[in-house]
Amino acid sequence: MYHYLECGLPGIYLENGFEYRDTAYGRAIAIRDIKGLHKAIGYHVVMKADRLNAREIRFLRSELDMSQKMLANTLGVSEITVRKWESDENKINRSADLLLRICYLQYIQENSQVRELVDRLNEMDRCDREKELHFQIDDHWMVASR
């Protein structure tokens, strides 16, 4: 078995789906379908009965590809609140816990509108492109591609 600490969660072990490889830099591990693995881990995390802990919140945020600021805006809390949840200074409140779980479950679904929205918000967060919006009309008005 392989103790998969790279995901940031302490109790994850892989029984198969991995192999060791020798590289010029030493021994390395190759994990098959890592996106699928993370999806399975995330699903297990959001389906557990207990409230999310600091490491689980960080894992889910990372899987959503969100900054702390973006997650805070999505959940309606301050960025420092998310930072305190992830550093285990404060516990996540029940409503934010539930909303984060719902967002994640919707995000991992194919063709999910939540996934599309989160991806768009993340792109805006990364690029900070809110200064100008250019629109064009074809059959209807839409943001012009640049």
pLDDT by residue (tens digit) across 63-109? 998 999 989 988 999 999 999 999 999 999 999 999 999 999 998 98
pTM for the model stands at: 0.78
Share above pLDDT 70 across residues of the chain, in percent, rounded to a whole number: 92
Predicted confidence at residue 129, as pLDDT, reads 46
As given in the structure block, the two tokens for residue 20 are 């060791």
Note the pLDDT of residue 109. Answer: 86
Tell me, what's the pLDDT at 126? 65
Whole-angstrom Cα distance, residue 7 to residue 67?
A: 17
Which band of pLDDT confidence, cut at 50, 70 and 90, is reported for residue 136?
confident
Q: Is the pLDDT of residue 5 over 70?
A: yes
CATH of domain 34-143: 1.10.260.40
Q: What is the DSSP string of 36-69?
A: HHHHHHHHHHHHSSSPP-HHHHHHHHHHTT--HH
Return the minimum-mean-pLDDT range out of 32-36, 72-76, 99-103, 139-143. 139-143
Domain with CATH 1.10.260.40 in the chain: 34-143
Which residues does residue 13 pair with via DSSP β-bridges, in sequence order? 3
Residues ≥6 apart with Cβ < 8 Å to 4: 12, 13, 14, 31, 37
Q: Is residue 128 predicted with pLDDT exceeding 90?
A: no
